[in-house]
Amino acid sequence: MDTKAPRPRTRIQTEKRELILEAALEVFSAHGFRGSTIDQIADAAGMSKPNLLYYFRRKEEIHETLMQRLLDTWLAPLKELDDIGDPLTELRSYIRRKLEMARDFPRESRLFANEILQGAPRIKPMLEGELKSLVDEKAEVIKGWMRAGKIAKTDPWHLIFSIWATTQHYADFDVQVRAVLGADRGSDGRFEDAARFLEQLFLDGLRPRPDRQG
Amino acid sequence: MDTKAPRPRTRIQTEKRELILEAALEVFSAHGFRGSTIDQIADAAGMSKPNLLYYFRRKEEIHETLMQRLLDTWLAPLKELDDIGDPLTELRSYIRRKLEMARDFPRESRLFANEILQGAPRIKPMLEGELKSLVDEKAEVIKGWMRAGKIAKTDPWHLIFSIWATTQHYADFDVQVRAVLGADRGSDGRFEDAARFLEQLFLDGLRPRPDRQG
DNA sequence: CAAATTTTTGACCGATTGGACAAACGTTAG
DNA sequence: CTAACGTTTGTCCAATCGGTCAAAAATTTG
């Protein structure tokens, strides 16, 4: 005999769950897990607390669902880092893609940062398993490029870290970036400036070199 | 007539306040402000909650005191960035100093990261005032180096951001770094590897160049 | 020593929190 | 229409939280 068949999901259930997750992303990313209350999320989703708890039985369940979705989209750019094509171009577009994600999904970035900052209590196994495997695999690809003389020889793991750090910084430390750049420069051109800077940094560094064009 | 003269501090007061701040740093940096309870801090400090509240009347008072101290030590390395000496050497030692701080004061780094992540509710004025001034000033110094052809021309503000991001990453995302590097490489040599990598990144970038020595 | 002052504690309080629950309401299929 | 099922709400609860308070204990001062 089979155990309880999991009921199919209603139209309303699908919609409302989506609404809740969107609201929860907003709230969790701004205040962290413990800093957020079910009431806040329910408010943001335009429903009552008991109603919200009808769709997600516990606060943790919302957070878990959110994290699972997040991780897929979050690692997608790295998965796309491929051995085909010019190495420098590949890296450059990886950096650009990560920077675009920081611009377009800052809440997701902050949700992730919050989790890691607190010691990753809920996703440590994933970090040590899935994430480590993926990074190790891509590190091998990068090592290949180095052996082939296509890019400078250096530590591929720390290279990946530095790309994560510099790009996500613009989402996670957004308030600080805005404050330092000021109202004028802190707005629209910000990400284009960052993209230009990071490209130059990762390609050529700071050591002055003779102008490559007249 | 003068208003209440603020009583001088007792020996016990000085000691116990220090004990509490140390405990609070541990707890706040691990769980964030809202995620931490006075009981946790009192426990970590080896005293009862009412006893702790005898030295700091409110939870926020502990956090404020902690933040004030933090900011001084946190900005010290940037303040030391001086116009004397070789620019590349100056930048290299700034990076090294920041990396050492991430290694030696990871809790302070995480406390700061927590505050910024949540939108810097308690220190935004400082970011827009003191911090912005300091960064603007140092950006001018760096611009001078660029005009003099001592380092490559690029955006000095984003350069500073990238140094902050890459170095603090090793404190704030420590769990992730450890998980990805694994138990073996995750331990001692980690910071030396990072230092070597960052030096190479910031000086020469990734574009392959002919070996500078036989 | 004794008086004054500082430090520590146990008991307590009101507010907030995550969550339970049954009853009411809405929707839909036969 | 009506029975069955899905949805929503008001009310309630126990636990936890930040913080108070008076009184006990320890320390300092004369």
- Structure confidence at residue B205 (pLDDT): 81
How many domains, chain A? 2
B118 and B73, same domain (yes or no) = yes
- Structure confidence at residue A3 (pLDDT): 42
Give yes or no for a contact between B73 and B108, defined as CB atoms under 8 angstroms apart: yes
For A61-89, what is each residue's pLDDT tens digit? 999 999 999 999 999 999 999 888 899 99
- Structure confidence at residue A10 (pLDDT): 78
> pLDDT band at B86, cuts 50/70/90?
very high
B98 and B200, same domain (yes or no) = yes
- Structure confidence at residue B132 (pLDDT): 97
B195 and B93, same domain (yes or no) = yes
Give yes or no for a contact between A200 and B154, defined as CB atoms under 8 angstroms apart: yes
Tokens of B49: 């909650």
Distance separating alpha carbons of residues A104 and A162, to the nearest angstrom? 20
A212 in any annotated domain: no
At residue A188, φ and ψ (nearest 5 deg) are: -65, -50
A51 and A79, same domain (yes or no) = no
**Interval A157-168 mean pLDDT:** 98
Asked if B120 lies within 8 A of A207 by C-beta distance, the reply is no
B28 and B115, same domain (yes or no) = no
Of A101-105, B72-76, B107-111, B164-168, which gets the smallest average pLDDT? Answer: B72-76
B46 in any annotated domain: yes
Task: Please provide the DSSP assignment of A158-171 as one string.
Answer: HHHHHHHHHHHHHH
Distance separating alpha carbons of residues A66 and A61, to the nearest angstrom? 9
pLDDT at A174 over 90: yes
Residue at minimal CA–C1' distance from D19? Answer: B58
Mean per-residue pLDDT of chain B: 92
**Interval A124-138 mean pLDDT:** 96
> pLDDT band at A213, cuts 50/70/90?
very low
Q: How many CB atoms lie within 10 A of CB B37?
A: 14
B93 and B195, same domain (yes or no) = yes
Distance B51 CA to D27 C1' (A): 16
Half-sphere exposure of A112 (CA within 13 A, CB side): 26
B211 in any annotated domain: no
Residue owning tokens 């290279």: A159
Tell me which chain A residue has its CA closest to the CA of residue B131: A180
Asked if B193 lies within 8 A of A158 by C-beta distance, the reply is yes
Asked if B116 lies within 8 A of A203 by C-beta distance, the reply is no
Q: Which amino acid is at A187?
A: S
> pLDDT band at A29, cuts 50/70/90?
very high
Interacting residues of A160 by C-beta distance below 8 A, sequence separation 6+: A78, A135, A138, A139, A142
A214 in any annotated domain: no
For A91-122, what is each residue's pLDDT tens digit? 999 999 999 999 999 999 999 999 999 999 99
A164 and A86, same domain (yes or no) = yes
Å from B206 to nearest chain A CA?
Answer: 5
B157 and B177, same domain (yes or no) = yes
- Structure confidence at residue B1 (pLDDT): 44
B51 and B75, same domain (yes or no) = no
- Structure confidence at residue A210 (pLDDT): 63
B1 in any annotated domain: no
A44 and A130, same domain (yes or no) = no
Distance separating alpha carbons of residues A65 and A58, to the nearest angstrom? 11
B140 in any annotated domain: yes
B105 and B43, same domain (yes or no) = no
CATH of the domain at A99: 1.10.357.10
Question: For a pLDDT cut of 70, what percent of chain B falls above it?
Answer: 93
Distance separating alpha carbons of residues B22 and B17, to the nearest angstrom? 9
For B169-210, what is each residue's pLDDT tens digit? 999 999 999 999 997 776 678 999 999 999 999 999 888 876
Asked if A201 lies within 8 A of B32 by C-beta distance, the reply is no
> pLDDT band at A4, cuts 50/70/90?
very low
> pLDDT band at B7, cuts 50/70/90?
low
Tell me which chain A residue has its CA closest to the CA of residue B116: A173
Q: B157 touching A, CB under 8 A?
A: yes
Asked if B152 lies within 8 A of A208 by C-beta distance, the reply is yes
A69 and A151, same domain (yes or no) = yes
B4 in any annotated domain: no
Mean per-residue pLDDT of chain A: 92
Of A44-58, B13-27, B57-71, B176-190, which gets the smallest average pLDDT? Answer: B176-190
CATH of the domain at B13: 1.10.10.60
Q: What is the span of the domain harbouring residue A164? A: 64-204
- Structure confidence at residue A209 (pLDDT): 73
Residue owning tokens 């503000």: B157
Using CB atoms, pick whichever of B151, B158, B170 lies closest to residue A193: B158
Distance B124 CA to C5 C1' (A): 41
> pLDDT band at A206, cuts 50/70/90?
confident
Of A144-148, A177-181, B210-214, which gets the smallest average pLDDT? Answer: B210-214
B148 in any annotated domain: yes
Measured between beta carbons, the chain A residues lying within 8 angstroms of B118 are 30-32, 35
